């Protein structure tokens, strides 16, 4: 009888799998990533991190290296010229879109995961996934069988793991193919993202730090091109001219691809010991650049939970809370990106009128700007509180800022989460029981610049408020905290 494994195996070394692997290692789980590709992909594909993703990196002390490599751009173009979502007033230390190629995001995440001891095995294609009550079993292409306590399928849109679980992936392909290219445009300033929609199609431009940019073209004249057809420089130049009527002086194209998105979501993110995350669980139109960011946040939601399960510290409901929390977020992203895709590709006069009204009348309104900036950036995400009578903060993203300590010193809040533990903030005279789980860091504070902040706040490793109270005594604090951990 084989000894049950205490390892988590992540299938797929894309951004979701690599972020998850780092989180698992930080949470004390042994982790291995199996990736079918023999070498890291040089495809740039997605091109930016939204504010909530950069905040997640900040929670782990990683944001600096990403911000230094990426290009912060203040707004996101949603379609017609001048129609943008402005992030500058976002309540975040990262009030912008951080433009950087997916290949570079993956490179940095892989380095972090390896630093934490994750083993990344390349050239390992998983062909079958099964499970018993005690373990999950993976079969590789060469016939090897691997055993794990848990498996997470981060293996993308055509996920083998999802198919082996017989989890359906209902949805539809979005109409039309989009041409993508990374190149230099000498005729356009590379200080902010840019967009326009004309009678001939849609153009979006996202600048990179090295002066090059990602061009996204939905050229109506070429929307039926099969995705297998390569995008050449001449085609790109013609499409740019046809859509915008301007010569942007393109040159030195170094990557291109044709892409047709699909909108789909798995109805279950967990089957027993096997989980789905990232594109394996949800996929949608690239409108709004949500794909990579949503997968990234799946990883930060699941990592600490699986880590707790491996250490025997997870209460019975914790692993199911991954699906409960992340499936609605994925569904919201499908709705958001679907609406934007429909508006941007509208060809009938009625729909074009609707687009005109949406972008010219509604979008500039400050409350609409604020709502869209919070939604697209991911800072609006909140999870359902576990409590029947929750404090207003429960389930919310823990805000940024500094905290003053009773001894007169001050600390940056997000710096307290680098090691991936829960943090319990307590303002004296609120007292803390002696027998709290060791997984919790207790931080006494006297204020944090936010009036009305409660006397006791428990924050999860992924930066969401688990529990808060204005009045709790030590017994209630102890009970609330212990509710997030199993007794063993
Ligand atoms: C051309 C293109 C352009 C895009 N542009 C954007 C954009 O502008 N903005 C945006 O947000 N998103 C964009 N996306 C989507 C974005 O790239 C994905 O959302 C993101 O890559 C999802 O990450 P992931 O880690 O979940 O999956 P993936 O990046 O797909 O990674 C899955 C990994 O699993 C591996 N794998 C698959 N099957 C197996 C197996 N059986 N065994 C072992 N390994 C396996 C794959 O080789 C791959 O490395 C684009 C996608 C494409 C294709």
| 15 Cβ inside 6 Å of ligand 1 | yes
| Distance (Å, whole) CA 281 – CA 304 | 19
**pLDDT tens-digit series, residues 243-289:** 999 999 999 999 999 999 999 999 999 999 999 999 999 999 988 88
Task: Please tell me if the CB atom of residue 182 comes closer than 6 angstroms to any atom of ligand 1.
Answer: no
Q: How far, in Å, CA of 202 to CA of 220, rounded?
A: 8
- Prediction pTM value: 0.96
Å from CA of 292 to ligand 1 middle: 8
Q: How many Cβ atoms sit within 10 Å of the Cβ of residue 4?
A: 12
Interatomic CA distance for residues 88 and 100, integer angstroms: 19
CA 219 to ligand 1 centroid distance, Å: 24
pLDDT mean over 439-459: 86
For residue 135, report the distance from its CA to the centre of ligand 1, in Å: 27
Residue 439 pLDDT: 85
Least confident of 165-179, 336-350, 372-386, 406-420: 336-350
Q: In terms of CATH architecture, what is 178-260?
A: 2-Layer Sandwich (3.30)
Average pLDDT, the chain: 93
Q: How far is the CA of 92 from the centre of ligand 1 (A)?
A: 27
Confidence category of residue 25, pLDDT binned at 50, 70, 90: very high
Residue to mutate (ligand 1; options 47, 50, 102, 129; most atoms within 8 A of CB): 102
Secondary-structure percent of the chain, ordered helix, strand, coil, rounded to 5: 30, 25, 45
pLDDT at position 117, please? 96
**Helices 102-115 & 15-26 angle (0-180, nearest 10):** 20
pLDDT in tens, 27-85: 999 999 999 999 988 877 899 999 999 999 999 999 999 999 999 999 999 888 889 99
Cβ 122 vs Cβ 37: under 8 Å = yes
> What pLDDT, on the 0 to 100 scale, is given for residue 343?
85
Q: Looking at residues 120-144, what average pLDDT do you find?
A: 96
**Model confidence pLDDT, tens digit, residues 291-319:** 999 999 999 999 999 999 999 999 999 99
Q: What percent of the chain has pLDDT over 90?
A: 78
Q: Report the separation in Å between the CA atom of 31 and the middle of ligand 1, taken as the mean of its atom positions.
A: 20
Ligand 1 atom 27, closest CA: 156
Alpha-carbon distance of 149 to 133, in angstroms, equals 10
CA 279 to the chain's CA centroid: 11
CB of 109 sitting under 6 A from ligand 1: no
Using a 10 angstrom Cβ sphere, with 0-12 exposed, 13-18 middle and 19 or more buried, the burial of residue 297 is: buried
Residue 125 C-alpha to ligand 1 middle, in angstroms? 15
Where would I find the H helices in 150-264?
A: 160-164, 233-244
- pLDDT band of residue 320 (cuts 50, 70, 90) is very high
Ligand 1: which atom is nearest the Cα of residue 127? 41
7-47+101-172+263-345: CATH topology is FAD/NAD(P)-binding domain (3.50.50)
Nearest to 182 by CA among 101, 260, 121: 101
With bands split at pLDDT 50, 70 and 90, how would you rate the model's confidence at 191? confident
* C-alpha 260 to ligand 1 mean position (Å): 13
Average pLDDT over residues 400-421: 92
Position 213 scores a pLDDT of 95
Ligand 1 centroid–CA 200 distance in Å is 29
Domain 402-482 in this protein, CATH class:
alpha beta
**Bridge-partner residues for 219, per DSSP?**
201
Does ligand 1 lie within 6 Å of residue 86's CB atom?
A: no
Per-residue pLDDT tens over the stretch 357-387 = 888 899 999 999 999 999 999 999 999 998 8
Closest of 119, 115, 31 to residue 65, by C-alpha? 115
286 lines ligand 1 (CB under 6 A): yes
Can you give the pLDDT at residue 3? 59
Given the CA of residue 280, which atom of ligand 1 is nearest to it? Answer: 26
How much is the average pLDDT of 182-208?
92
What is the whole-number distance in angstroms between the Cα of residue 116 and the centre of ligand 1?
Answer: 23
Whether ligand 1 lies within 6 angstroms of the CB of 260 is answered as no
- Please indicate whether residue 19, judged by its CB atom, sits closer than 6 Å to ligand 1: no
Kindly write down the DSSP assignment for every residue of 297-359, as one continuous string.
HHHHHHHHHHHHHHTT---TTTTHHHHHHHHHHHHHHHHHHHHHHHHHT--SHHHHHHHHHII
CB of 330 closer than 6 angstroms to any ligand 1 atom: no
Atom of ligand 1 nearest to the CA of 16: 25
Q: 235 alpha carbon to ligand 1 midpoint, in Å?
A: 25
In terms of Cα–Cα distance, which of 307, 331, 420 is closest to 381? 331
Q: Where are the domains of the chain?
A: 7-47+101-172+263-345, 178-260, 402-482
The minimum-distance atom of ligand 1 relative to the CA of 18 is 25
Look at residue 408 in the predicted model and tell me its pLDDT.
87
């Amino acid at each position: 009888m084989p000894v049950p494994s205490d390892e988590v195996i992540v299938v797929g070394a894309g951004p979701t799998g690599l972020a998850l692997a780092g989180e698992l290692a930080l949470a004390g789980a042994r982790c291995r990533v199996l990736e079918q590709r023999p070498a890291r992909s040089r495809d740039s594909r997605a091109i930016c991190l939204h504010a909530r993703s950069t905040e997640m990196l900040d929670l782990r002390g990683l944001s600096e290296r990403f911000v230094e490599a990426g290009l912060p751009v203040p707004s996101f173009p949603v379609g017609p010229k001048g129609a943008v979502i402005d992030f500058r007033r976002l309540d975040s230390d990262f009030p912008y879109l951080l433009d950087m190629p997916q290949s570079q995001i993956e490179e940095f995440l892989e380095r972090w995961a390896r630093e934490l001891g994750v083993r990344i095995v390349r050239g390992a294609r998983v062909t079958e996934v099964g499970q018993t009550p005690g373990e999950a079993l993976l079969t590789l292409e060469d016939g090897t069988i691997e055993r794990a306590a848990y498996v997470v399928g981060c293996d993308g849109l055509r996920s083998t793991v999802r198919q082996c679980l017989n989890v359906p992936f209902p949805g539809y392909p979005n109409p039309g193919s989009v041409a993508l290219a990374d190149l230099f445009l000498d005729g356009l300033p590379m200080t902010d993202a840019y967009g326009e929609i004309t009678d001939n199609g849609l153009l979006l431009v996202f600048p990179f730090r090295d002066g090059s940019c990602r061009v996204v073209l939905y050229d109506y004249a070429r929307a039926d091109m099969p995705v297998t057809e390569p995008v050449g420089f001449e085609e790109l130049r013609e499409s740019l001219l046809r859509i915008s009527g301007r010569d942007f002086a393109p040159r030195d194209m170094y990557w291109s691809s044709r892409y047709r998105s699909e909108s789909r979501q798995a109805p279950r993110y967990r089957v027993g010991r096997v989980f789905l995350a990232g594109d394996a669980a949800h996929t949608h139109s690239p409108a709004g650049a949500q794909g990579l960011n949503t997968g990234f946040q799946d990883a930060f939601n699941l990592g600490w939970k699986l880590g707790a399960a491996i250490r025997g510290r997870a209460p019975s409901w914790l692993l199911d809370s991954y699906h409960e929390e992340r499936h609605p977020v994925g569904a919201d992203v499908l709705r958001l990106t679907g609406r934007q895709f429909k508006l941007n590709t509208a060809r009938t006069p009625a729909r074009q009128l609707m687009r005109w009204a949406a972008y010219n009348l509604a979008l500039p309104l400050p409350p609409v700007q604020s709502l869209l900036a919070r939604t697209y950036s991911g800072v609006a995400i909140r999870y359902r509180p576990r409590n029947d009578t929750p404090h207003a903060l429960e389930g919310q993203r823990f805000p940024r800022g500094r905290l003053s300590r009773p001894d007169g010193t001050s600390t940056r809040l997000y710096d307290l989460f680098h090691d991936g533990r829960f943090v319990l903030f307590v303002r004296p005279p609120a007292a803390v029981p002696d027998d709290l789980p060791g997984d919790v860091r207790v931080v006494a504070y006297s204020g944090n610049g936010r009036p009305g902040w409660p006397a006791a706040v428990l924050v999860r490793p992924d930066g969401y408020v688990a529990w808060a109270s204005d009045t709790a005594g030590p017994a209630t604090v102890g009970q609330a905290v212990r509710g997030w951990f199993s007794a063993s």
